[in-house]
Amino acid sequence: MVAGLSEVLSPSQVLAGSATHRTYDCDAYTVDRSAPTCVVLPESTEEVQAIVRWCNESSVPFTPRGAGTGLSGGAMPALGGVVVSTKKMSRILEVDLPNRCLLAQAGAVNIRLSQAAAPAGLHFAPDPSSQTVSTLGGNINENSGGPHTLKYGVTAQHVLQATMVGCSGEIVVLGSRVANGPESSLLSLIVGSEGTLGIVTEAWVRLTPLPKHVATALVAFPDSSSATQAVVAILEEGVVPAALEMMDFNIMQALRTAFGLEFPEEAGALLLVECDGEEPVNDELDSVLAVCRASGAIDVRVAQDEEERAKLWTARKKGIGAMGRLAPTIVTHDGVIPRTRLPEMLAYVYEKASEIGVGVANLFHAGDGNLHPCFYFDDRVPGTIEKVVAAGEEILRKCLELGGSVTGEHGIGVEKAGVWGHSLSPADRDLQMAVRDVFGVSGLCNPCKVLPDQKGCVEHVKRWRGAAT
Amino acid sequence: MMAVEEFIQAVALAPRVRLEGAGTKATFMKAAPQDCLTISTQSISGIVSVSPGDQMVTVWAGTLVSHLQQELATHGQALPLLDPNEFGKELAGCPGTVGGLLAANLPSGLSSQHGEPRDWLLHADVLFRGQQAQCGAKVVKNVAGYDVHKFLCGTWGQMAPFLQVTLKTCPIRALKGTSAVRLRAAALPVWILRTLPTLFDRVLEGAEGLVAHDRASCTLWSDVRPPTPEEGWIIGPAGQAWSDNLQPGLTRAAKLVFDPEDRWQ
């Protein structure tokens, strides 16, 4: 395989060997693993096309990969074969400031898009927590969100046109720099497709004006229940903040231990609220804070300048990193519920964690109802990882029961293929599978993800799980 | 029997079907073939649930947008569309039924601030090859599975029509003002054009029969075919459409997959 691909690309663009196998056997979802035979590093759409054609001729599975920050195993080469890394496709090809859009290769890092547009007062709005490393291609395939999607929308609303190498190697360009035209929106199917319909190689994205005015506050509540009730009340008030993020007691503990951050002693939960706009937003923030106080807020800190604002955001941005102080292993889940069901859902999460005897911290996009329960434990204790995986699935079923979804931003990948697949009726499943027929999907393109239907996926589930323990 | 079941049965009996909502966008569609039965979606109408705290509404596809807006207003919510009585139907997105709004996905005078109907659609029950099937989720954020419901917006009921949908609503308090300008009522069927900011002024100068325009979204409405810009798109009467990137091959493939019997006309 290495020899064959070295003829298609240059030998330095093909990686193999045990270090490669270990590095690329999973993404940031580490519970399941499966090693590739080799990894290729194309530099252009045409090179990706040559690789996909070679894989088709040789019947070898291929899996696209950006920065490997995915949290559901989407970049894991489930049936081995070739990992197509976009690492060397990181160029910004064109910045069209007057038309507020930008063309970049799939491997361009999210934050670099905003940096390229910043001098003109513009930015690329999707801001997943991984934005300093995650790539445009990964963001498109996972339809990434972030704290500011409450107001600005997820990646789908910011991608105008994408170039993709289809499963059999054809190059297609979907969408237009002028959005929402009469062409059927095949681009809507590509965004969020988790790399199962082809390999996105470049895209035009929308650039959004940076807000002229920003107001940020960190509000402390006695417990997570009053904080979640405040979230509902804020949105019922008719205010749509740019961000509305929640951190619970355990996150605060981790932040105190890891970074020496200080919070009011009697605080049981924090809400980070940000309002922004073209006009001053102090009134908007005031109405949010009034609602918070009415919901039982015990402390309010409003940022007076940019430095203070960055400091308030530290609590949100460093939360997951701080979790490392609590236990050696962390597994972050992702589920969505109508936000009015947040209090009920959080209670269920705490109950599950205590039932299996592990810790759980919650740091999440409260405004979107997008929960990220983060279990912390010691995976060297036999049986723990199995219990955590099982509890995660029960949480997802609870999300469905409350009318929500099994994933708000991490994707189905391999992690949730089972639990999501079981929630579909035969007709729902047919409707999903129809999408694959439109794009002529073969069994070779990122197999065993989203809706596993390739031979070997079921047997291999055991192998992945085996490799992880 | 429930209205939706009767509707599905009625559709199943006809080999060729043209669905019709309130008929507000009929001029944009090709005339239906002669052997085709026109079936109204207004038999499947009504609001199922409104949840202002979740910014969501679930509604049957045949429900009138005007009725939905009235009901939402009592909860302080709205679909982000201009009032047709005040701004004219073009800038209001030619609203008829909710199903029609999504099937056409036309721009409106609030597009630059609030997007198009596709952006508001969270979940749909659709009629897919004779079966009721669901896609999306009844939450404001979801990445489970392919966004088939988003794809179906703008397919003019030609792939898998909407039966019931859940839409994200906007608090009336958060609605933005419009930069759109209405010039006059249209005398003939309308054309809609959108282009890039750098091309818009030239297109606007060359356009005859202007009905309305919106600089913020670089969109214009006119009752004479506007000049074709270097980049962008045009939607016109009787199914006429131009875009700088139409994908006829993949669109045909999609039609064959979603509607193999060519039922939807």
Residues of chain B contacting A425 with CB distance shorter than 8 Å: 133-134
Q: Do the first three CATH levels of A2-85 and A327-401 match, i.e. the same topology?
A: no
Distances (CA, A) of A115 to A88, A104, A121, A123, A131: 19, 13, 10, 7, 12
Q: What is the pLDDT of residue A468?
A: 47
Inter-chain contact B139–A338, Cβ cutoff 8 Å?
A: yes
Residues of chain B contacting A193 with CB distance shorter than 8 Å: 146
Summarised one tens digit per residue, pLDDT across range A313-372 is 988 888 888 988 889 988 888 999 999 999 999 999 999 999 999 999 999 999 999 999
Residues of chain A contacting B133 with CB distance shorter than 8 Å: 425, 427-428, 430-431
Among B119, B231, B243, whose Cβ lies nearest the Cβ of A183?
B243
Q: Answer yes or no: is the ipTM higher than 0.90.
A: yes
Nearest alpha carbon to residue B13 among B252, B260, B261 = B261
- Band of residue A469 on the pLDDT scale cut at 50, 70, 90: very low
User: For chain A, what are the domain ranges?
Assistant: 2-85, 213-321, 327-401
Summarised one tens digit per residue, pLDDT across range A61-87 is 999 999 999 999 999 999 999 999 999
Q: What is the pLDDT of residue B1?
A: 61
Inter-chain contact A181–B118, Cβ cutoff 8 Å?
A: no
A84 SS3 class: strand
Closest residue of chain A to B175, computed from CA coordinates: A238
Q: What is the pLDDT of residue A31?
A: 81
CATH 3.30.70.2740 fits A327-401, yes or no: yes
Among A175, A431, A450, whose Cβ lies nearest the Cβ of B133?
A431
Q: Is the pLDDT of residue A467 over 60?
A: no
DSSP 8-state secondary structure symbol assigned to residue A12: G
Give me the half-sphere count of Cα atoms (radius 13 Å) on the Cβ side of residue A315: 31
Q: Which residue has the higher pLDDT, A455 or A251?
A: A251
> How far B132 CA lies from chain A's nearest CA (Å)?
7
CB neighbours (10 Å) of residue A36? 29
Inter-chain contact A192–B118, Cβ cutoff 8 Å?
A: no
Among B139, B170, B214, pick the best mutation site for testing chain A contact (most A Cβ within 10 A). B139
User: For chain B, what are the domain ranges?
Assistant: 3-175, 181-243
Report the range of poorest mean pLDDT among A25-34, A279-288, B16-25: A25-34
Mean pLDDT of chain A: 94
Inter-chain contact A157–B257, Cβ cutoff 8 Å?
A: no
What is the domain class of A213-321 according to CATH?
Answer: alpha beta
Where does residue A172 fall: left (phi above 0), alpha (psi -120 to 50 degrees), or beta otherwise? beta
- Band of residue A459 on the pLDDT scale cut at 50, 70, 90: low
Inter-chain contact B150–A188, Cβ cutoff 8 Å?
A: yes
> How far B38 CA lies from chain A's nearest CA (Å)?
23
Among A98, A232, A411, whose Cβ lies nearest the Cβ of B53?
A232
B25 vs B41: CA distance, rounded Å: 14
Summarised one tens digit per residue, pLDDT across range B22-56 is 999 999 999 999 999 999 999 999 999 999 999 99
Q: Which residue has the higher pLDDT, B233 or A464?
A: B233
Place of tokens 């999306």: B136
**Using an 8 Å Cβ cutoff, are A366 and A231 in contact?**
yes
Among A177, A438, A450, whose Cβ lies nearest the Cβ of B257?
A438
Amino acid at A120: A
Domain A2-85 maps to which CATH number in 3.40.50.720, 3.10.180.10, 3.30.43.10, 2.40.10.120? 3.30.43.10
Inter-chain contact B137–A337, Cβ cutoff 8 Å?
A: no
Mean pLDDT of chain B: 96
> How far A4 CA lies from chain B's nearest CA (Å)?
31
Residues of chain B contacting A175 with CB distance shorter than 8 Å: 245
Any idea which fold B3-175 has? 3.30.465
Q: What is the pLDDT of residue A464?
A: 64
